[in-house]
Amino acid sequence: MGGKLRGWFRYLVDGVGRRVPRADVLRVPRRHRIRAQLRRHSVAMISLMIAISSLGYNTWRNETSELHRNWRQASFELTREINELQQVVLYRRYFHPVESDVPAGIGDAETWIRGWGRAASVRDLTSVLPDPLPAHGLHLHTTRAQHARHLHGDDELAREAEEALLTALDDTRDSVLELIRNLR
Protein backbone atom coordinates (compact mmCIF):
# COMPACT_ATOMS: atom_id res chain seq x y z
CA MET A 1 0.00 0.00 0.00
CA GLY A 2 2.87 2.36 0.70
CA GLY A 3 4.06 2.17 -2.91
CA LYS A 4 0.62 2.78 -4.24
CA LEU A 5 0.17 6.01 -2.22
CA ARG A 6 3.58 7.27 -3.22
CA GLY A 7 2.54 6.92 -6.84
CA TRP A 8 -0.40 9.27 -6.35
CA PHE A 9 1.90 12.14 -5.47
CA ARG A 10 3.24 12.11 -9.01
CA TYR A 11 -0.24 12.84 -10.34
CA LEU A 12 -2.74 15.63 -9.89
CA VAL A 13 -6.41 15.73 -10.70
CA ASP A 14 -7.42 18.18 -13.41
CA GLY A 15 -10.66 20.23 -13.63
CA VAL A 16 -12.77 17.31 -14.83
CA GLY A 17 -11.53 14.78 -12.31
CA ARG A 18 -8.97 12.94 -14.48
CA ARG A 19 -5.62 11.90 -13.15
CA VAL A 20 -2.95 13.86 -14.98
CA PRO A 21 0.80 13.59 -14.53
CA ARG A 22 2.20 16.50 -12.52
CA ALA A 23 4.33 17.91 -15.32
CA ASP A 24 1.25 18.33 -17.57
CA VAL A 25 -0.74 20.10 -14.85
CA LEU A 26 1.99 22.67 -14.31
CA ARG A 27 1.79 23.64 -17.98
CA VAL A 28 -1.94 24.55 -17.70
CA PRO A 29 -2.36 28.34 -17.35
CA ARG A 30 -3.14 29.52 -13.85
CA ARG A 31 -6.51 31.07 -14.79
CA HIS A 32 -7.72 27.68 -16.06
CA ARG A 33 -6.76 26.04 -12.79
CA ILE A 34 -8.64 28.72 -10.77
CA ARG A 35 -11.72 28.37 -12.96
CA ALA A 36 -11.60 24.63 -12.50
CA GLN A 37 -11.41 25.01 -8.73
CA LEU A 38 -14.28 27.50 -8.71
CA ARG A 39 -16.38 25.16 -10.82
CA ARG A 40 -15.52 22.23 -8.59
CA HIS A 41 -16.30 24.07 -5.34
CA SER A 42 -19.19 26.27 -6.52
CA VAL A 43 -21.84 24.42 -4.48
CA ALA A 44 -19.77 24.76 -1.31
CA MET A 45 -19.19 28.47 -1.95
CA ILE A 46 -22.89 29.11 -2.61
CA SER A 47 -23.78 27.19 0.55
CA LEU A 48 -21.28 29.26 2.54
CA MET A 49 -22.72 32.53 1.20
CA ILE A 50 -26.27 31.42 2.06
CA ALA A 51 -25.18 30.34 5.55
CA ILE A 52 -23.43 33.66 6.25
CA SER A 53 -26.35 35.75 4.97
CA SER A 54 -28.83 33.62 6.97
CA LEU A 55 -26.75 34.04 10.10
CA GLY A 56 -26.62 37.80 9.57
CA TYR A 57 -30.37 38.06 9.03
CA ASN A 58 -31.18 35.87 12.05
CA THR A 59 -28.88 37.93 14.27
CA TRP A 60 -30.48 41.17 13.09
CA ARG A 61 -33.99 39.76 13.54
CA ASN A 62 -33.23 38.46 17.05
CA GLU A 63 -31.74 41.80 18.11
CA THR A 64 -34.73 43.70 16.72
CA SER A 65 -37.21 41.33 18.39
CA GLU A 66 -35.42 41.65 21.73
CA LEU A 67 -35.40 45.44 21.48
CA HIS A 68 -39.13 45.47 20.71
CA ARG A 69 -39.83 43.11 23.63
CA ASN A 70 -37.92 45.45 25.95
CA TRP A 71 -39.76 48.49 24.61
CA ARG A 72 -43.11 46.72 24.94
CA GLN A 73 -42.40 45.73 28.56
CA ALA A 74 -41.23 49.25 29.43
CA SER A 75 -44.32 50.68 27.72
CA PHE A 76 -46.68 48.54 29.79
CA GLU A 77 -44.85 49.48 32.97
CA LEU A 78 -44.93 53.12 31.90
CA THR A 79 -48.68 52.96 31.28
CA ARG A 80 -49.19 51.63 34.79
CA GLU A 81 -47.02 54.41 36.27
CA ILE A 82 -48.88 57.09 34.29
CA ASN A 83 -52.23 55.79 35.51
CA GLU A 84 -51.07 55.73 39.12
CA LEU A 85 -49.66 59.26 38.81
CA GLN A 86 -52.99 60.37 37.39
CA GLN A 87 -54.73 58.89 40.43
CA VAL A 88 -52.37 60.82 42.70
CA VAL A 89 -53.06 64.06 40.83
CA LEU A 90 -56.82 63.54 40.99
CA TYR A 91 -56.70 62.55 44.66
CA ARG A 92 -54.66 65.61 45.59
CA ARG A 93 -57.02 67.81 43.59
CA TYR A 94 -60.36 66.49 44.86
CA PHE A 95 -59.56 64.90 48.24
CA HIS A 96 -56.86 67.16 49.60
CA PRO A 97 -56.46 66.42 53.28
CA VAL A 98 -53.97 68.85 54.76
CA GLU A 99 -51.85 67.52 57.59
CA SER A 100 -50.72 69.98 60.21
CA ASP A 101 -47.15 68.66 60.53
CA VAL A 102 -46.10 68.96 56.86
CA PRO A 103 -44.64 72.09 55.22
CA ALA A 104 -47.07 74.59 53.75
CA GLY A 105 -48.20 73.81 50.20
CA ILE A 106 -47.49 70.09 50.36
CA GLY A 107 -50.83 68.82 51.64
CA ASP A 108 -50.96 65.06 52.12
CA ALA A 109 -47.36 63.87 52.59
CA GLU A 110 -48.03 60.34 51.34
CA THR A 111 -49.50 61.43 48.02
CA TRP A 112 -46.81 64.10 47.70
CA ILE A 113 -44.06 61.47 47.95
CA ARG A 114 -45.93 58.90 45.86
CA GLY A 115 -46.54 61.50 43.16
CA TRP A 116 -42.87 62.45 42.95
CA GLY A 117 -41.89 58.77 42.86
CA ARG A 118 -44.28 58.12 39.97
CA ALA A 119 -43.15 61.23 38.09
CA ALA A 120 -39.49 60.21 38.44
CA SER A 121 -40.33 56.66 37.36
CA VAL A 122 -42.15 57.94 34.25
CA ARG A 123 -39.20 60.18 33.39
CA ASP A 124 -36.73 57.30 33.81
CA LEU A 125 -38.78 54.76 31.84
CA THR A 126 -39.31 57.14 28.94
CA SER A 127 -35.56 57.73 28.69
CA VAL A 128 -35.01 54.18 27.40
CA LEU A 129 -37.77 54.39 24.80
CA PRO A 130 -37.57 55.91 21.29
CA ASP A 131 -38.47 59.50 20.43
CA PRO A 132 -40.69 61.37 21.25
CA LEU A 133 -41.18 59.61 24.60
CA PRO A 134 -38.06 60.94 26.39
CA ALA A 135 -39.22 64.50 25.70
CA HIS A 136 -42.72 63.70 26.98
CA GLY A 137 -41.34 62.14 30.16
CA LEU A 138 -39.11 65.11 30.85
CA HIS A 139 -41.98 67.51 30.14
CA LEU A 140 -44.24 65.61 32.55
CA HIS A 141 -41.59 65.72 35.28
CA THR A 142 -40.98 69.46 34.87
CA THR A 143 -44.72 70.12 34.77
CA ARG A 144 -45.05 68.23 38.05
CA ALA A 145 -42.21 70.31 39.50
CA GLN A 146 -43.92 73.55 38.47
CA HIS A 147 -47.48 72.72 39.57
CA ALA A 148 -47.41 70.12 42.38
CA ARG A 149 -47.66 72.66 45.23
CA HIS A 150 -50.80 74.20 43.78
CA LEU A 151 -52.88 71.01 43.50
CA HIS A 152 -54.34 70.99 46.99
CA GLY A 153 -56.07 74.37 46.88
CA ASP A 154 -59.51 75.43 45.69
CA ASP A 155 -58.43 78.43 43.64
CA GLU A 156 -57.63 79.09 40.00
CA LEU A 157 -53.99 77.96 40.48
CA ALA A 158 -55.20 74.53 41.54
CA ARG A 159 -57.36 74.15 38.44
CA GLU A 160 -54.50 75.28 36.19
CA ALA A 161 -52.11 72.87 37.93
CA GLU A 162 -54.55 69.99 37.52
CA GLU A 163 -55.14 70.82 33.86
CA ALA A 164 -51.43 71.14 33.09
CA LEU A 165 -50.57 67.83 34.79
CA LEU A 166 -53.47 65.91 33.26
CA THR A 167 -52.61 67.26 29.79
CA ALA A 168 -48.99 66.19 30.19
CA LEU A 169 -50.15 62.77 31.40
CA ASP A 170 -52.51 62.37 28.44
CA ASP A 171 -49.82 63.38 25.93
CA THR A 172 -47.38 60.89 27.41
CA ARG A 173 -50.02 58.14 27.53
CA ASP A 174 -50.97 58.75 23.88
CA SER A 175 -47.33 58.49 22.80
CA VAL A 176 -46.87 55.25 24.76
CA LEU A 177 -49.99 53.70 23.23
CA GLU A 178 -48.83 54.75 19.76
CA LEU A 179 -45.49 53.05 20.37
CA ILE A 180 -47.22 49.84 21.51
CA ARG A 181 -49.42 49.87 18.39
CA ASN A 182 -46.39 50.28 16.10
CA LEU A 183 -44.28 47.50 17.65
CA ARG A 184 -44.28 44.30 15.66
How remote is the C-alpha of 132 from its chain's centroid? 14
- Does residue 108 fall inside a structural domain? yes
Dist. CA 84–CA 72, nearest whole Å: 19
Query: Are 32 and 100 within one domain?
Result: no
- Does the pTM of the predicted model rise above 0.85? no
- Does residue 48 fall inside a structural domain? no
- Does residue 50 fall inside a structural domain? no
DSSP code string of 45-98:
HHHHHHHHHHHHHHHHHHHHHHHHHHHHHHHHHHHHHHHHHHHHHHHHHHS---
- What is the structure's pLDDT at 1? 47
What CATH number is associated with residue 73? 1.20.120
- Does residue 170 fall inside a structural domain? yes
DSSP code string of 153-173:
SSSHHHHHHHHHHHHHHHHHH
- What is the structure's pLDDT at 106? 59
- What is the structure's pLDDT at 51? 97
- Residue 53 burial (CB < 10 Å; 0-12/13-18/19+)? exposed
- What is the structure's pLDDT at 14? 52
- Does residue 59 fall inside a structural domain? no
Strand partners, 21: 11
Domain, as residue range, for 26:
7-40
Which ranges of the chain have pLDDT less than 50?
1-3, 5-9, 24-25
Query: Are 91 and 26 within one domain?
Result: no
Q: Total structural domains in the chain?
A: 2
